[in-house]
Structure 1
Amino acid sequence: MSLNVEGGLKLVLLAGGSGSRLWPLSRRFLPKQFIQLRGHDSLLELVSGNFKGLLAPGSSIVVSSSQQAFGSAYKLLAGHTVLAEPCSRNTAAACGLAAAHCLAAGEDPVLLVSPCDYLVKDAAAFRRTAAGAVRLASEGKVVLLGSKALRADPAYGYVLSGAARGGAFKVGSFSEKPKLQQCRRLLRGGNACWYTGIFAARASRLFRLLELHQPALAAGLRACCPAGAARGAGAREIPEHIYCSLPDLSIEKAVFEKSKDLLLLKLSSGWTDVENWASLYRLGAKDKAENVLKGDVLAHDCRDTLLYSDKRLVAGLGLKNTVVADTGDALLVCPLDRTSEVALVPRALARQGRLQEHSHETVRRPWGSYTLLGRGTSYLIKRLELDPGAGISLQYHRRRSEHWTVARGTAKVVRGNRTFLLRRGASIDIPLGARHSLSNPGKTALSVVEVQNGDYIGEDDIVRVKDPYRRPR
């Protein structure tokens, strides 16, 4: 049974990050929060499940990037209200966007804000603490959730607890990702805990704090969410020219470090941040040599090592304190104690314009997926997999032609004013500039091999004329 909160309760899931410290498993267009790291559920699903029973159905808001909301995570986000960021502006803008959206719709719920990159051991204990935070937030408080600091680690924010107040603690001070020496000093004091990124506040209270400490940000967010905002599930496009000009600030730097009336509740549920490969090593089941082995891997004379492969065989010999992560199209090898620096790799790849920075070999789409089979300077080969009843948008390309061959199933192709039904082995050419669409009219998966030719073969050379998924043109 959901909590009865005056004004309602909304879960706000912050899912717009790229998870770059978990590259090559996590990438910008399909980051860690949408990947199945445990069993068959993604981190977003696991985190959302932590709050099960607290909220009424349809009470979740996901703030995510437009590439994810209209692309790789489209199916996963079905049933949520999705605020699709046209660019990343950090957590102050993301949290404020959720608050502004609710207020523009004439609502003032308590917002239970959570990142999507952690696991808890005791979900029932976690829900009890979260429920306590919601009750305090309904009274006008801003309540942070902290967890016991297990080590001095600059990757975390630190909250110093002050005097007890009504079952909670007054926040004495807040330090966002301090340097290592300061982390050690904070821990020696005995009253520091890690900030989990989870907090509760009424929408109007959060927005007033933004107006007080970050007036330019608050004004921009109001402009992004005009009065009468739509309610219910589905993705909302945010004006790019406004949102991308907003200050790039974390909610901790923008508000929490400047506020003097915050409360803290301490989790007793066992909370673990899934930050990087070292996090996965700590979470993983270990063999007698303290190795974590995932996938088709073989370790010989290795110790304190993580071997990961999601496709081919990977063998390690004589490794110590090492991460080896293979995803078929990219391989990472680094010391286990330097995994916090892995984000440097995708940044370098971005400067080189490499696909491996943002995309996997197989890329999810609302209609199914495509897998990159090969590429050259003027051509690209893909395998398209369309779900039964699904289809790509009616579109055209300015700088490339395409050739489709049906490998499995039956394809319905629209080219110009003509419609074709193609069975296995049949092919069709799509000339440059021709309006076309591809759909699967059958009850089984459709597989099509696509060969692109042109002087430019980027994914942004798509002009959508009609799109059932309402993606930006």
Structure 2
Amino acid sequence: MILPVIMAGGSGSRLWPLSRQLYPKQFLPLCGDQTMLQQTCARLAGLEHLPPLIVCGEEHRFTVAEQLRASRQPHGAILLEPAGRNTAPAVALAALHSLASGEGDPLLLVLAADHAIRDTAAFLQAASHASHFASQGALVTFGILPTAPETGYGYIRRGSEIHAQEHAAFRVDKFVEKPDTTTAEKYQQSGEYLWNSGMFLFRASRYVEELGKHRPDILSACERAMAKASQDADFIRPGKSAFLESPEDSIDYAVMEKTHDAVVVPLDCGWSDVGSWSALWEISDKDELGNTTDGDVILYDSRNCYVQNDRKLIALIGLDNLVVVESDDAIMVAAKDRVQDVKKVVERLKSENRPEAMVHRKVYRPWGYYDSVDAGERFQVKRIVVNPGAQLSLQMHHHRAEHWVVVSGTARVTCGEQQMLLSENQSTYIPLGVKHRLENPGSIPLELIEVQSGSYLGEDDIVRFEDRYSRS
């Protein structure tokens, strides 16, 4: 049986300003109405498989859980990496968990949560095809048929052809790094090279076996981490100290380049890793002048542009090959052939400790979200939305007081020893230093306006006493 392992970590800095460290591209609806994580799960519907195992970081756990719940996607456990150590240790955790879960020795279909695939049927056919080889002990990777001399991908050189039950694939001759343009053109013309997709299929036991042979230090750390794992609802937490001893490495370097049993299955499915704004433009629908727009956009005499906005009207006049992206707190304008440098902007934001590198103005929490509407000297205004049945932690602040005004829904407010119900147009005041809690006991979202005032308004001025989301 196939067990999909969906890797939902990563920061997606090349798609800033929409993608942020705490809300990266896999959680954004970049290629349709669903987020990329939701699309990854949805395209598995035509494949006979076990409920997917999701691997992500601690900071993204509630976003993953909420997006799966909202899309009604069936899933298994959510495995939380204590820290980023690249794909080889992450998949080792998944393999060890699957072998210990009583489901036998499943075929692990390792997928990234932030890839786009336009031809789902071709992808599912290739996965079924690859399962014949993986069932016999091969470690299968999927190689994308090149459509251009792409310099942003690694390549796989295919070796001799092999057959199994009328299904054909190729031995992996070698993996090669991202080439320059001249080399990429030679690769494409030769017909011997495929793009390295970063998708894999192999038995859990075979991956563990090969990892132990070639990188026993990684396997040992992961085994010790899983031996100390704990479970909280759907979340599995490997032992942190043991996992931090694991070196960083990718599946390619740690296993696939060293094993003698690597097999590549060619795949033509409209695949993209959506690794840049130009890549997103390439796979998006365009008008007769090659423009892609999303939001309130007016174009005049402009060509081959990608324009996306959330709120404000954007007008382009006489422009060519530009990317313009507006988010709730930033605007990015770039030449389409320079979008790889977006990450340099993010690096500068991080070096200056600016919040635009980490979070959006709208910040999602396990109970809902808040939107920072305005801020100034000693005050901040937030729009807060609490999901039905959800509650914030019992908490207090050392440096700020809060005023709450209910816009819609019903709020149950705990303030010190007092508890009250507030409905639309009613308000209350939370003094500095007083324990308080906000809950939504109703069946519709609770929306309120919060005005904070005080000497310090940072999110780290929260002392939690009780929290149903294990954050206290």
How far 1:417 moved relative to its partner?
2.9
How far 1:442 moved relative to its partner?
2.2
Q: Is the 8 A contact 2:229 2:237 kept in 1?
A: no
**Do structure 1's residue 33 and structure 2's residue 26 form an aligned pair?**
yes
Distance of 1:279 and 1:240 partners within structure 2: 36
Residue by residue over 1:344-372, the C-alpha shift from the partner in whole angstroms, topping out at 9 and shown as x without a partner, is: 22221122222211212222222221111
How far 1:264 moved relative to its partner?
0.7
**Do structure 1's residue 336 and structure 2's residue 332 form an aligned pair?**
no
- Seen in structure 2, the aligned counterparts of structure 1 residues 41 and 399 have a Cα distance that, compared at 3 Å, is same
Higher mean C-alpha displacement, 38-47 vs 454-463: 454-463
**Aligned residue identity for 1:221:** C
- Seen in structure 2, the aligned counterparts of structure 1 residues 415 and 236 have a Cα distance that, compared at 3 Å, is farther
How far 1:428 moved relative to its partner?
2.8
Higher mean C-alpha displacement, 191-200 vs 219-228: 219-228
SS in 1 for 2:46: coil
What residue in structure 2 maps to residue 396 of structure 1?
396
Match of 2:37 among 31, 44, 55: 44
What residue in structure 1 maps to residue 459 of structure 2?
459
**Do structure 1's residue 63 and structure 2's residue 55 form an aligned pair?**
yes
Distance of 1:230 and 1:244 partners within structure 2: 19
Q: Is the 8 A contact 1:105 1:227 kept in 2?
A: no
Task: Percent identity, please.
Answer: 38
Residue by residue over 1:114-154, the C-alpha shift from the partner in whole angstroms, topping out at 9 and shown as x without a partner, is: 01222223222211110122232122110001111122323
- Seen in structure 2, the aligned counterparts of structure 1 residues 141 and 458 have a Cα distance that, compared at 3 Å, is farther
- Seen in structure 2, the aligned counterparts of structure 1 residues 11 and 257 have a Cα distance that, compared at 3 Å, is same
Distance of 1:32 and 1:283 partners within structure 2: 15
**Do structure 1's residue 111 and structure 2's residue 115 form an aligned pair?**
no
Q: Is the 8 A contact 1:405 1:426 kept in 2?
A: yes
How far 1:74 moved relative to its partner?
3.2
Superposition TM-score, scaled by structure 2 size:
0.91
**Do structure 1's residue 23 and structure 2's residue 16 form an aligned pair?**
yes
Distance of 1:125 and 1:226 partners within structure 2: 39
**Aligned residue identity for 1:133:** A
What residue in structure 1 maps to residue 141 of structure 2?
144
Q: Is the 8 A contact 2:17 2:331 kept in 1?
A: yes
- Seen in structure 2, the aligned counterparts of structure 1 residues 40 and 289 have a Cα distance that, compared at 3 Å, is closer
Q: Is the 8 A contact 1:217 1:246 kept in 2?
A: yes
What residue in structure 2 maps to residue 289 of structure 1?
289
SS in 1 for 2:227: coil
What residue in structure 1 maps to residue 157 of structure 2?
160
Residue by residue over 1:309-348, the C-alpha shift from the partner in whole angstroms, topping out at 9 and shown as x without a partner, is: 1211011112111101111311010010111221222221
**Do structure 1's residue 222 and structure 2's residue 218 form an aligned pair?**
no
How far 1:211 moved relative to its partner?
1.9
Taking the TM superposition and a 5 Å limit, the aligned residue runs for 1:356-375 are 356-375=356-375
What residue in structure 1 maps to residue 209 of structure 2?
208
Higher mean C-alpha displacement, 331-340 vs 347-356: 347-356
Distance of 2:460 and 2:99 partners within structure 1: 34
Match of 2:80 among 63, 84, 95: 84
SS in 2 for 1:216: helix
Gaps of 5+ in 1: none
- Seen in structure 2, the aligned counterparts of structure 1 residues 396 and 183 have a Cα distance that, compared at 3 Å, is farther
Match of 1:74 among 65, 79, 100: 65
- Seen in structure 2, the aligned counterparts of structure 1 residues 196 and 337 have a Cα distance that, compared at 3 Å, is same
Superposition TM-score, scaled by structure 1 size:
0.91
Q: Is the 8 A contact 1:74 1:365 kept in 2?
A: no
SS in 2 for 1:342: helix
What residue in structure 1 maps to residue 129 of structure 2?
132
Q: Is the 8 A contact 2:159 2:172 kept in 1?
A: yes
**Aligned residue identity for 1:30:** Y
Higher mean C-alpha displacement, 359-368 vs 317-326: 359-368
**Do structure 1's residue 301 and structure 2's residue 301 form an aligned pair?**
yes
CA RMSD of aligned residues (A): 2.3
Q: Is the 8 A contact 1:323 1:334 kept in 2?
A: yes
Q: Is the 8 A contact 2:349 2:356 kept in 1?
A: yes
- Seen in structure 2, the aligned counterparts of structure 1 residues 182 and 38 have a Cα distance that, compared at 3 Å, is closer
Residue by residue over 1:85-130, the C-alpha shift from the partner in whole angstroms, topping out at 9 and shown as x without a partner, is: 2332222222122112223435432110001222223222211110
Taking the TM superposition and a 5 Å limit, the aligned residue runs for 1:376-455 are 376=376, 378-455=378-455
Distance of 1:118 and 1:102 partners within structure 2: 24
SS in 2 for 1:51: helix
How far 1:179 moved relative to its partner?
4.5
Distance of 1:170 and 1:302 partners within structure 2: 47
What residue in structure 1 maps to residue 176 of structure 2?
175
Distance of 2:138 and 2:222 partners within structure 1: 22
**Aligned residue identity for 1:288:** E
Q: Is the 8 A contact 1:308 1:325 kept in 2?
A: yes
Higher mean C-alpha displacement, 334-343 vs 242-251: 242-251
Higher mean C-alpha displacement, 341-350 vs 172-181: 172-181
Gaps of 5+ in 2: none
Higher mean C-alpha displacement, 429-438 vs 20-29: 429-438
Residue by residue over 1:188-224, the C-alpha shift from the partner in whole angstroms, topping out at 9 and shown as x without a partner, is: 4320000111110111211222222222221221122
**Aligned residue identity for 1:171:** V
- Seen in structure 2, the aligned counterparts of structure 1 residues 177 and 440 have a Cα distance that, compared at 3 Å, is same
Distance of 2:252 and 2:398 partners within structure 1: 44
SS in 2 for 1:225: helix
How far 1:230 moved relative to its partner?
5.5
Distance of 1:426 and 1:68 partners within structure 2: 34
- Seen in structure 2, the aligned counterparts of structure 1 residues 311 and 198 have a Cα distance that, compared at 3 Å, is same
Distance of 1:147 and 1:100 partners within structure 2: 29
Q: Is the 8 A contact 1:84 1:236 kept in 2?
A: yes
Taking the TM superposition and a 5 Å limit, the aligned residue runs for 1:313-328 are 313-328=313-328
